[in-house]
Amino acid sequence: MVSLILLLPILTILSFFAVFPEPAHALWPQPRNLQTGPSTLRLSPSFTITVGVPNPPADLLAAAQRTRALLFNDKLGRLVLGRGTGDLKAVSSARVLSHLTLKLDGNVTTTTARPISVEAKLPFGQRDEGYRLIVPEDGSAAVLSANSTLGLFRGLTTFGQLWYTVSGTVYTLGAPVEIQDSPAYPYRGFMLDTARNYFPVSDIERTLDAMSWVHINTLHWHIVDSQSFPLVVPGFTDIAQKGAYSADAVYTPQDVANIVSYAGARGIDVLIEIDTPGHTSVISKAHPEHIACAEAKPWSTYANEPPAGQLRLASSATTNFTVGLLSAVAKLFPSPLFSTGGDEINARCYHDDAQTQNDLAGRSVEQALDVFTQATHGALKKLGKTPVVWEEMILNFNLTLSNDTIALVWISSSDAAAVASKGFRVIHAGSNSFYLDCGAGGWVGDFPAGNSWCEPYKTWQNAYTFDPLANLTTAQAPLVLGGQQLLWTEQSGPQNLDSIAWPRAAASAEVFWSGSGGNVSAALPRLHELGYRLRQRGVHAISLQPEWCALRPFACDLTA
Ligand SMILES: *[C@@H]1O[C@H](CO)[C@@H](O)[C@H](O)[C@H]1NC(C)=O
Ligand SMILES: *[C@@H]1O[C@H](CO)[C@@H](O)[C@H](O)[C@H]1NC(C)=O
Ligand SMILES: *[C@@H]1O[C@H](CO)[C@@H](O)[C@H](O)[C@H]1NC(C)=O
Ligand SMILES: *[C@@H]1O[C@H](CO)[C@@H](O)[C@H](O)[C@H]1NC(C)=O
Ligand SMILES: *[C@@H]1O[C@H](CO)[C@@H](O)[C@H](O)[C@H]1NC(C)=O
Ligand SMILES: *[C@@H]1O[C@H](CO)[C@@H](O)[C@H](O)[C@H]1NC(C)=O
Ligand SMILES: *[C@@H]1O[C@H](CO)[C@@H](O)[C@H](O)[C@H]1NC(C)=O
């Protein structure tokens, strides 16, 4: 109690047109420019959002409606002792906000307002996520403006985080609020593996909602792997028929279209990955002719996880098959990006496969991989896709890759410097900071002493203190597109999706939106607010501390 009494006056002084908000402003990620004032503002029960855009796209209108609904449905009590009852006096005499108006800047004609879903899939240089939000303190209309519907969407998300509820009244503190915001990095992702365990469409959609609430703009969907192939690919339906866990555990083209559209309407692009040539064992169920060392034993000799099996990369028939498969998948996903994977290629698998040795005809595996990759990437480029690969394709093999290829740096973030020195663009996905699965003990059976390979558990603080530009030169810095946290699902399923991902996955969302260098002590009260708000919205985010601490910002800091 004593520390709270001491803290409050200090915070109030700091919040008066301060660059950083008082913790009561539950904004996540932190806007890059934020000014707040001293006033309380109530939201009118008949509050309206006017989309002042000629011929407004349907997804923008829907986003405005969802935002309005959340304002009244969140019912989030402020994270202080009394959960906001101490604000009642100020709330009762506060001015009332009745209107938010959305505007597009520039010369907007009836044809220039593109849907959010279209803006979200533009190439990085053309995507404009910036917005400006002004909430006056006198109750006159708030104004949200941007150059694109995507920017308006990001601004709506931020607007929705300004509000608390006490005794049925929705209110904010710190008016007037003025925000000018845009992301530090163009790529902010979340990766989900739906092959080790299957996730119903509704789980993916709930995850997309949570992602959109923290301005994450890419779902990296690791949809298939050696264990299962849930994607029903037109022309290749036998793979899912024989390779999904069950007839129900599949994603049909209609499911994919629904997910892509749900994501797009929330400013999220879906980057699909079909990992090749490794991580493909299950394809052998429908096409044994294309898979080397299928389910060979012991698995650990031929793969990093059971079951073993890799595409016969030296075979022209397998190359043609893979080109056909990837092209068919590419047509299901409108993203400008497509990942062909390329991690953990096992040399022994090809060494022991008589057919591959025959197909190699004296060539090295690296030479065959080059031919194979040029074929798959060439086909994808013809479909307008930019290839994305795991870092080994750049660092372990000397391949002919087009210079716009993007590398996912996963083994260690310190490999980013080597990727950048070869001139390739980088997405940070390092197991050392961003793997959400680490630290849960080993999952391999008959190995009681086993640990996860990437011990320990990666805390939100680990991700939050990540420096995307560490060890890069100033000239290399623009090669960093951004980064993401990743959920490999050997030990996850729908049961723990929310709890293993949230609120942790918000840590990288802030690093890559607001920029690095954030202060974990200052961030924690805001992250608590986000966690509590996620729960109010039906996402089962875990607690980061006892509620005693959440209600007393900084009181549980190490030296408090
Ligand atoms: C706005 O754009 C339209 C067509 O793109 C053009 O005809 C008009 O002159 C422009 N108006 C202004 C004020 O620039
Ligand atoms: C709109 O674009 C202009 C020109 O690129 C830029 O200066 C401005 O900051 C953008 N507006 C917002 C709200 O991001
Ligand atoms: C190449 O693959 C396509 C299916 O994508 C198939 O129709 C065609 O017969 C294959 N050609 C060869 C030479 O294997
Ligand atoms: C990589 O391959 C190219 C030809 O494809 C060759 O010129 C170059 O020397 C190779 N580099 C290394 C490090 O092997
Ligand atoms: C790739 O090379 C072309 C031609 O040299 C250049 O114009 C382009 O900017 C490069 N792209 C990237 C991403 O480096
Ligand atoms: C930076 O380089 C140092 C020295 O090689 C290394 O120890 C460290 O892990 C690197 N850090 C990152 C984030 O790359
Ligand atoms: C981090 O934030 C805390 C809480 O606001 C503050 O006391 C501390 O001085 C900050 N540390 C740095 C290095 O800015």
Residue 10 CB partners (closer than 8 Å, separation 6+): none
* Chain segment 469-503, per-residue pLDDT in tens: 999 999 999 999 999 999 999 999 999 999 999 99
Contact 310, 343 (CB under 8 A): no
Q: Which of 105-114, 249-258, 301-310 has the lowest mean pLDDT?
A: 105-114
pLDDT at 259: 98
C-alpha distances (whole Å) from 38 to each of 9, 25, 127 are: 12, 12, 35
- Give the closest residue (by CA) to ligand 7 atom 13: 519
C-beta of 403 in contact with ligand 5 (< 6 A): yes
Picking from 35, 337, 28, 297, the residue whose alpha carbon sits closest to that of residue 160 is 28
* Chain segment 353-411, per-residue pLDDT in tens: 999 999 999 999 999 999 999 999 999 999 999 999 999 999 999 999 999 999 999 99
Picking from 465, 501, 453, 512, the residue whose alpha carbon sits closest to that of residue 187 is 512
Residues with a catalytic annotation lie at: 344
Compute the average pLDDT of residues 465-470. Answer: 98
Compute the average pLDDT of residues 202-223. Answer: 98
> What's the pLDDT band for 107 if we cut at 50, 70, 90?
confident
Task: Looking at the CA of 129, name the nearest ligand.
Answer: 2
Helix (H) or strand (E) holding 258: helix 253-264
Enter the DSSP assignment of 304: S
Compute the average pLDDT of residues 2-12. Answer: 37
Which residues lie across from 272 on neighbouring strands?
221
Share of the chain above pLDDT 70, in %: 95
How far apart CA 369 and CA 294 sit, in angstroms, is 19
> What's the pLDDT band for 111 if we cut at 50, 70, 90?
low
Compute the average pLDDT of residues 196-212. Answer: 98
pLDDT at 521: 95
> What's the pLDDT band for 112 if we cut at 50, 70, 90?
confident
C-beta of 110 in contact with ligand 1 (< 6 A): no
Ligand 4 centroid distance, CA of 293 (Å): 29
Ligand 7 centroid distance, CA of 518 (Å): 10
- Ligand 5, residues 394, 402, 404, 476: which to mutate, most atoms within 8 A of Cβ? 404
- Give the closest residue (by CA) to ligand 7 atom 14: 519
Task: Looking at the CA of 32, name the nearest ligand.
Answer: 2
Ligand 3 centroid distance, CA of 320 (Å): 6
Q: Which of 105-114, 211-220, 420-429 has the lowest mean pLDDT?
A: 105-114
Ligand 6 centroid distance, CA of 478 (Å): 19
pLDDT at 26: 87
Ligand 3 centroid distance, CA of 256 (Å): 25
pLDDT higher than threshold 90 for residue 80: yes
> What's the pLDDT band for 110 if we cut at 50, 70, 90?
low
Task: Looking at the CA of 317, name the nearest ligand.
Answer: 3
C-beta of 109 in contact with ligand 1 (< 6 A): yes
Nearest atom, ligand 7, residue 519 CA: 1
C-beta of 422 in contact with ligand 5 (< 6 A): no
C-beta of 557 in contact with ligand 5 (< 6 A): no
Task: Looking at the CA of 145, name the nearest ligand.
Answer: 2
Compute the average pLDDT of residues 431-442. Answer: 97
- Give the closest residue (by CA) to ligand 1 atom 2: 107
Mean pLDDT of the chain: 95
473-512 burial string, b = 16+ CB within 10 Å, else e? eeebeebbbbbbbbbbbeebeeebbbebbbbbbbbbbbbb
Model pTM? 0.94
* Chain segment 125-138, per-residue pLDDT in tens: 999 999 999 999 99
C-beta of 107 in contact with ligand 1 (< 6 A): yes
- Give the closest residue (by CA) to ligand 5 atom 6: 403
41-52 burial string, b = 16+ CB within 10 Å, else e? bbbeeebebebe
Ligand 2 centroid distance, CA of 147 (Å): 6
Walk me through the domains of the chain, giving residue ranges and CATH numbers. Answer: 2-181 (3.30.379.10), 187-519 (3.20.20.80)
Enter the DSSP assignment of 236: -
- Ligand 7, residues 13, 521, 528, 549: which to mutate, most atoms within 8 A of Cβ? 521
pLDDT at 109: 72
pLDDT higher than threshold 70 for residue 540: yes
* CB-based pocket (< 6 A), ligand 6: 413-414, 470-471
* Chain segment 17-42, per-residue pLDDT in tens: 333 335 457 899 999 999 999 999 99
- Give the closest residue (by CA) to ligand 7 atom 11: 519
